[in-house]
Structure 1
Amino acid sequence: MTDQSPARHTEPGPRTSADPAARRADGPPHDYAAVVERALGALDLDTKARLLSGQDMWSLPAVPAIGLRSLVMSDGPIGVRGRQWSAEDPSVALPSPTALAATWDPELARRAGRLLAQEARRKGVHVLLAPTVNLHRSPLGGRHFECYAEDPLLTGAIGAGYVRGVQDGGVGTTVKHFVGNDAETDRFTVDNRIAPRPLHELYLAPFEHIVTHARPWGIMTAYNQVNGSTMTEHHHLVSEVLRGDWGFDGCNVSDWTAARNTVRALRAGLDIAMPGPRTVFGAPLAAAVRAGEVAESEVDAAVRRVLLLAARTGCLDGVPPAVAPSDVPPVIDGRAVARDLARRAVVLLRNEPVAAPGGGARPVLPLDAVALRRVAVIGAAARDARVLGGGSATVFPEQVVSPLAGLRAALPDDVEVVFATGADPRTRVPHAREGFALHARYLTAEGRLLTETPQFDGKVQVLGSFPDGVTRQELHAVELTGSFTPRTTGTHTLAVAGAGRLRLTLDDRVLFDGDGAGTAGTDPFEAFMQPAEHRIAVELTAGHEVALTLRFVPHGLGLGEGLDALNFVLGHGEPQLDGDAEIVAAVRAATEADVALVVVATTEEVESEGFDRTDLRLPGRQDELVARVAAANPRTVVVVNSGSPVELPWREQVPAVLLSWFPGQEAGAALADVLLGDHEPGGRLPTTWPARLADAPVSTVTPTDGTLPYAEGVFIGYRAWQRTTTAPAYPFGHGLGYTRWEYVSLDATPDSVWVRLRNTGDRPGREVVQIYLAPADDTPGAPERPTRWLAGFATVEAGPGESVETEIPLPGRAFEIWSEPDDGWRRIPGRYTVAAAHSSADVRLTAHVTAG
């Protein structure tokens, strides 16, 4: 055996100007203040007030007189949409944030951020509206796929890496949603009642970590209230904590339409009210100054921060941007990064031995491609992959590699790959994609063509601004037109949806001509994104191309003044048997195969923005499908394609279970890499997976009379599971690999931990070393604390038989609690157990330290 040189893994502290990375994040070593003051002094009151208000959905106004260009923002977090949020300009689609957190690798998050900065620059975007660092308080949170984890340290570390990466590329970030936006139910109005200790130890902690270690240029304040005040008007948390205690010097941007009161928002510390042009700032703010309700000096303070953001992003003349063009990272291959992130995020939940063809038993994964003759790939999500979450996290990638396509491309030509739907969980017809060649034509009432754009699929969407050459005044209709070549003969399902007049023709036959409508819902964003669907059955022949056009005349062209909006959909479903017959066909395919791969998934009706989940079950008959396939083939592998936890009642009936999250555009290629053993499944769970929703310690996300008490205090996630007698299906930090690790030694001081490990398997591997801290003795007067809590982590790699050592700092905060009587952090002295662990429930080595 050979020993590798010790590998140091540290979380950097606040950086100094001597560090080039610090200069990229905080700005070059020259003074912005003089340029900002000169620009501010040239502005009148009305212009200053206008600068604090969006001019449209995504941008701030330009002021040429002072050399200020329009600053453009765009949603992330897994891609960069740009101003138009349409398929006209495709975006790289990375894996979901839960997948990124599953890597437990802040440097990988930084790599993702650098790619997104490259995408932002390509699309003319100066500020990315990401990352989302709210916590997984309850598994029912409908938008948890867009957040990272249930633990504040893991969330903060991944978020800091992401922010550093984006800002390395000269693009700003707005860390969101500050704070307490941990569920979607009544998100515009809910008052989350959070006691000071959990507020600081849990929910504020990721924001504090990122502000301290990555110096973000922006923060986005949330819709919700915290302890009686909406976050856009929360003076204590914004001005006293964020700006005062933490020293945040960036811009505070409202969530879209979250700002509600001119005076209270400005005095609380809000700098930018989005979107425009009609907001509580702008003209109403200028009027408030003239009426004596606020001082112009208060407006000036906000404008200074906006001008600083403009300077950092290169939008203000007279000063170089924070990152010079020569310092921008080299060009990054987006597809390669998307594939690498996806495969590093895969969590191998289970991998039990099964009988091998030559005798004996071995884990079913990785698959031996040489020994395979036939593989059954089963599940609607295997062919029509769900690669990203719904809502504002949606982007339009240029291409998507499905699990079916990825596996077919990776396996030798003599291996037969058979597909069966088995059970389709979708309640809506999927967007037209495979076999379609489409483009969108924007037309005036007289039929004059304004512009024409390519379409990735059958969803035509605009939110913010129409394509170049199109105005709200001239636009009358949009035609989605092109051709479709079916791959199967039979009864196909076409679907149309949109709030307006819809007319679908196929080879000059009118299949539908009628009015569509938006779905009723309490969340207007949800209603806009999910218009009511109308289905049409049509007989088609495989290989016979047909021409089609879906003409849409919308009832309206906006979601308010200046907010251009359009959304209509052409859906397509392949011919299908009835539900029972589809499962029977899948079981038959599995019976005749060497291995059966079942891909199960959630849908946009289950996980998306605007609503929370009501249960954790996989939709449709997918649980039944897995159980019946497993009974038919003992070599069944299940891939779970969801952004957050789902119940897996069949998990002990199958030998192997993989979690791929929402894996981004290279989903299938990455999955094939892991299944065939070309890459280690290196992911670890960033959140606990319960066996049943009923077991989850926190399951209340619905407010009562507008209020949601966080009654569990500091006990969420694994901290809460430690207090129960019920074990979860899979604990926080869990994940298997294709090799074995021996934890050889552990040395610890109150400042650092050193762990030595040895790869005792026959393959190269990757391990995430997790360090947990726990009180070793009762400390008189100490408040109730979790059994143990995450205090640090590091990733290590080693070849077969090799050893590796890693140093992991113990931050001083790990020994502190928020003391409510003192209203501040208090160190709890005493003896502590330091645990080096494979997961929160799998401690390998322990040592003791004494904190003074």
Structure 2
Amino acid sequence: MNNEHTLNPELNESTQSSHRNGNFPWMDQSLSPRERAEKLVAAMTLEQKIAQLHGAMETINIYALPSMEEMNAMSPEEYDKLMAQIQVQRHVKGIEELGIPRFRITNGPVGVGMGDGHPSPPATALPMTIGLAAGFDPELARDYGDIIGSETATLGQHVLEGPGVCLHRTPIAGRNFEYFSEDPYLSGVMGVEVAKAIQTHNVIAMGKHYVVNDQEYERFRANVEVDEHVLRELYLLPFEMLVKDADIAAIMSAYNRVRGTYATENRYLLNDILRDEWGFKGYIQSDFWSCRSTAASLTAGMDHEMPDAKWCNETNVKNALEDTSLEIQTVNRALVRRFTQMFRFGQFERPYNPGVIDAKGHGAISRKIGSQTAVLLKNEGGMLPLDPKAYGTIVIIGQSEFVDDACNGGGGSSKVDPLYTIPPVEGMQEVLHGLGSEAKVSKVTVAKDLSNLEEAKSAAKEADLVILMAGLVASEGADLPSPNMLNDQNQMLTELLDVNQHTVVVMKDSSPVMMPWITKAKAVLEAWNQGTEDGHVVADLLFGVVNPSGKVPTTYAASENDLIYAGHPERYPGTDEGNGFPVIRYSEGLNMGYRWFQSQGIKPLFPFGFGLSYTSFELSEFSVTPAQVDGKSPITVKVTVTNTGKVAGAEVVQVYLGIPVTGQPPKRLVGFQKVFLEPEQSHEATITIDPSATNHPMSVWDYCEHDFVVKPGEYTVYLGTSSEDTPFEATLVVS
């Protein structure tokens, strides 16, 4: 597939002959990708240029589409029919006479989602991105991105729309499942590794949604007002890391307005920051229907409208050129940027020849990723891991999404059509059989209105072991009504937890939820929306085949009143303020996520970075060197980690920094390392704080310098195993 000398079979014989005869100077591989792109654009007619500015989907009225609530109420057949209408045209038409291939685009970032084709091709349904972040392990992120990149290439697609690196500002945001975390550094580290792995397969990775698309509510209309230092230190930071550390090829602009201007028309974001300051060399694609104009969007820095030609059509572009609101050089610039990336990854030479995905091989990797990202939230009395031979009958109880089939969560355009799935009962039965257990596994599916809850109670009472499965499957297009699980699942758990003392709760979430029943539960495992290998992963964890090692990537609040928007509608869902559209004010400033809880003195239910294990660890020999620095030289933090338990496991060492600047939160994450240890084994973990790193670990945004600056003063270095559990401290003086 990657043979650079193979001609594209989608081109006819005369065109291929032109290739052979050297009539296409842009096919000269001795030239740089940009030189080739410039030669191609110079050879194009105006009509050909315009045809390449946009996707080929037939223009539709997006406001005539069903609401997310209506989509959720559809039958699977009705939903698939609607999605087929949208997904079949995810491409830009090729131009045969110029050797331009059909440009095929597929969605991500939790696997290969809606792609160009009818129907959209099946792929490996990976664990949700929030779960990947819980792994706190860049190597897992590389494995994750490698699967996505490999499958995108195998399916003949050119672009994977992901990773998504917006932040979890609220637990109710509809797309938290496909974003990483509330922390910008963790999100950036994991996003960089995913993007780099995708692009090793000569697939364009696309960071999204740029920027502050942290909610789905009124996403086509809402305006986000956010201070510059907050934008820089939190919400832009993971995008900056994608550009500088991953050399990402594309960025997707967001739907929402930012400071009154739509993101797709925001020159300050698209040009001044992204290109002039960060040095971004790729191209910018609109989110689907986020483009709101022709001249304004292209001039601001948007290069490619998707999925149709609602704005960048021939009539509009020619009119804009004629009235000089748009320049032909701007059109050329947009095309050169995209073609440069296509040439960079050899996409003009690559034949369209879809292959077969290694479903079982990739499923095995997905199983490994999933088992290392689950978070053990509670384990009273060491109830877990379970003895596979101690129970004759096991019943799994929960609502349909969580017990009937693998929890392939996340609705909307990123949803993956899985190649196969391992349901909970079958997966647990297979794992138990492999462990020599003869236990019988059954299930009770609880109705959404809890009408058969008594039946479930009876089954729980009679079983030797009860596994309660509950959770949340969020969706693009709509935020959740509250951070509580839907369909009275809290009541379901509250009542069932009283029935049998041998009961474990398995959560399958796409975002943190309220747990008012937590005091009744002896053991709680957050498994996330696992995708393909759900049944195997959960059983591996419960019965100790794998020791859970995930950490909370976004804080779990104990009460809804503890969240940043409680009593502050201007923070969410926003207020009109006479504008005619919602205005959302990030008035909490830098105090978001664990920073909010710490700055307000609020104790969370489960703090950022928290996660239990089936073994125990001890930290010792902590050191920070040097103790005095100039704000430019790297600082080395060391600690020895010892597995003091009886089974192998992994601990995540976390380093936080207290910045001596007024208005800064108590702590910010600046480094972490996941350490795998056998019983009684020790390892010296070394974490470097480099002031010049792209995450600006020691810097704050300076309005006068219009840059990140390290301020002099006494910094506090914290080390521990969560944002709240940092027993080691040291003072670092910046002179």
* Same-fold status (TM-score > 0.5): yes
Structure 1 range deviating more: 617-626 or 135-144:
617-626
Aligned residues of 1:118 and 1:331 also touching (Cα < 8 A): no
Pairing 1:339–2:367 present: yes
Equivalent-residue separation in structure 2 for 1:756 and 1:30 (angstroms): 51
Equivalent-residue separation in structure 1 for 2:476 and 2:679 (angstroms): 44
Structure 1 residue 332: Cα displacement? 8.7
Tell me, what secondary structure is at the counterpart of 2:600? coil
Structure 2: runs of 5 or more not aligned: 1-28, 58-88, 626-633
Which of 391, 416, 427 is matched with 1:406 structurally? 427
Aligned to 1:98: 130
Tell which has more relative contact order, 1 or 2 (C-alpha 8 A, sep 6+): 1
Pairing 1:418–2:437 present: no
Structure 1 residue 87: Cα displacement? 5.8
Aligned residues of 1:386 and 1:601 also touching (Cα < 8 A): no
Measured against aligned partners, the alpha-carbon deviations of 1:190-246 in whole angstroms (never above 9, x if no partner) come to 110011010100110010011111011000001111111101110011111001100
Which of 704, 710, 722 is matched with 1:839 structurally? 722
Shift in alpha-carbon separation, 1:828–1:330, aligned structure 2, 3 A: farther
Aligned residues of 1:383 and 1:405 also touching (Cα < 8 A): no
Pairing 1:823–2:702 present: no
Shift in alpha-carbon separation, 1:802–1:600, aligned structure 2, 3 A: same
Amino acid paired to 2:653: V
Structure 1 range deviating more: 648-657 or 391-400:
391-400
Pairing 1:378–2:392 present: no
Structure 1 residue 697: Cα displacement? 2.4
Aligned residues of 1:181 and 1:224 also touching (Cα < 8 A): yes
Which of 177, 185, 202 is matched with 2:234 structurally? 202
Structure 1 residue 85: Cα displacement? 6.8
Equivalent-residue separation in structure 2 for 1:347 and 1:245 (angstroms): 38
Matches within 5 A, 1:442-841: 579=450, 582-603=452-473, 607-699=474-566, 700-705=571-576, 706=581, 707-749=583-625, 750-775=634-659, 782-812=661-691, 813-841=696-724
Tell me, what secondary structure is at the counterpart of 1:747? strand
Equivalent-residue separation in structure 2 for 1:418 and 1:61 (angstroms): 51
Amino acid paired to 1:677: G
Equivalent-residue separation in structure 2 for 1:787 and 1:644 (angstroms): 24
Tell me, what secondary structure is at the counterpart of 1:658? strand
Shift in alpha-carbon separation, 1:332–1:299, aligned structure 2, 3 A: farther
Tell me, what secondary structure is at the counterpart of 1:333? helix
Which structure shows the bigger proportion of residues in strand conformation?
A: 1
Equivalent-residue separation in structure 2 for 1:170 and 1:283 (angstroms): 34
Which structure shows the bigger proportion of residues in helix conformation?
A: 2
Equivalent-residue separation in structure 2 for 1:586 and 1:186 (angstroms): 39
Structure 1 residue 795: Cα displacement? 0.7
Structure 1 residue 261: Cα displacement? 1.2
Aligned residues of 1:82 and 1:125 also touching (Cα < 8 A): no
Determine which structure has more spread, i.e. the larger CA radius of gyration: 1
Aligned residues of 1:602 and 1:618 also touching (Cα < 8 A): yes
Measured against aligned partners, the alpha-carbon deviations of 1:37-68 in whole angstroms (never above 9, x if no partner) come to 22122112221222111122311222233322
Structure 1 residue 333: Cα displacement? 1.8
Shift in alpha-carbon separation, 1:769–1:330, aligned structure 2, 3 A: farther
Aligned residues of 1:46 and 1:286 also touching (Cα < 8 A): no
Amino acid paired to 1:51: Q
Measured against aligned partners, the alpha-carbon deviations of 1:783-805 in whole angstroms (never above 9, x if no partner) come to 31111110111111010000011
Shift in alpha-carbon separation, 1:85–1:145, aligned structure 2, 3 A: farther
Pairing 1:213–2:236 present: no
Shift in alpha-carbon separation, 1:595–1:844, aligned structure 2, 3 A: farther
Aligned residues of 1:765 and 1:798 also touching (Cα < 8 A): yes
How many percent of aligned residue pairs carry the same amino acid? 34
- CA-atom RMSD, angstroms? 2.1
Equivalent-residue separation in structure 1 for 2:101 and 2:375 (angstroms): 45
Tell me, what secondary structure is at the counterpart of 2:697? helix
Shift in alpha-carbon separation, 1:687–1:85, aligned structure 2, 3 A: farther
Amino acid paired to 1:713: G
Shift in alpha-carbon separation, 1:656–1:30, aligned structure 2, 3 A: farther
Tell me, what secondary structure is at the counterpart of 1:69? coil
Tell me, what secondary structure is at the counterpart of 2:621? strand
Aligned to 1:348: 376
Structure 1 residue 331: Cα displacement? 10
Equivalent-residue separation in structure 1 for 2:30 and 2:510 (angstroms): 41
Shift in alpha-carbon separation, 1:113–1:283, aligned structure 2, 3 A: farther
Tell me, what secondary structure is at the counterpart of 2:92? coil
Shift in alpha-carbon separation, 1:669–1:110, aligned structure 2, 3 A: same
Amino acid paired to 2:730: A
Measured against aligned partners, the alpha-carbon deviations of 1:329-353 in whole angstroms (never above 9, x if no partner) come to 9999211122111111110000010
Equivalent-residue separation in structure 2 for 1:659 and 1:641 (angstroms): 6
Aligned residues of 1:698 and 1:716 also touching (Cα < 8 A): no
Equivalent-residue separation in structure 2 for 1:276 and 1:125 (angstroms): 18
Matches within 5 A, 1:386-401: 386-401=407-422
Shift in alpha-carbon separation, 1:116–1:106, aligned structure 2, 3 A: same
Equivalent-residue separation in structure 2 for 1:86 and 1:137 (angstroms): 36
Aligned residues of 2:293 and 2:311 also touching (Cα < 8 A): no
Which of 324, 333, 338 is matched with 1:306 structurally? 338
Which of 250, 255, 262 is matched with 1:230 structurally? 262
Shift in alpha-carbon separation, 1:789–1:626, aligned structure 2, 3 A: same
Equivalent-residue separation in structure 2 for 1:365 and 1:411 (angstroms): 15
Equivalent-residue separation in structure 2 for 1:741 and 1:680 (angstroms): 13
Tell me, what secondary structure is at the counterpart of 1:787? coil
Equivalent-residue separation in structure 1 for 2:192 and 2:115 (angstroms): 25
Equivalent-residue separation in structure 1 for 2:387 and 2:311 (angstroms): 60
Structure 1 residue 663: Cα displacement? 0.7
Aligned to 2:26: none
Which of 60, 63, 77 is matched with 2:92 structurally? 60
Structure 1 residue 282: Cα displacement? 4.3
Structure 1: runs of 5 or more not aligned: 1-27, 354-362, 428-578
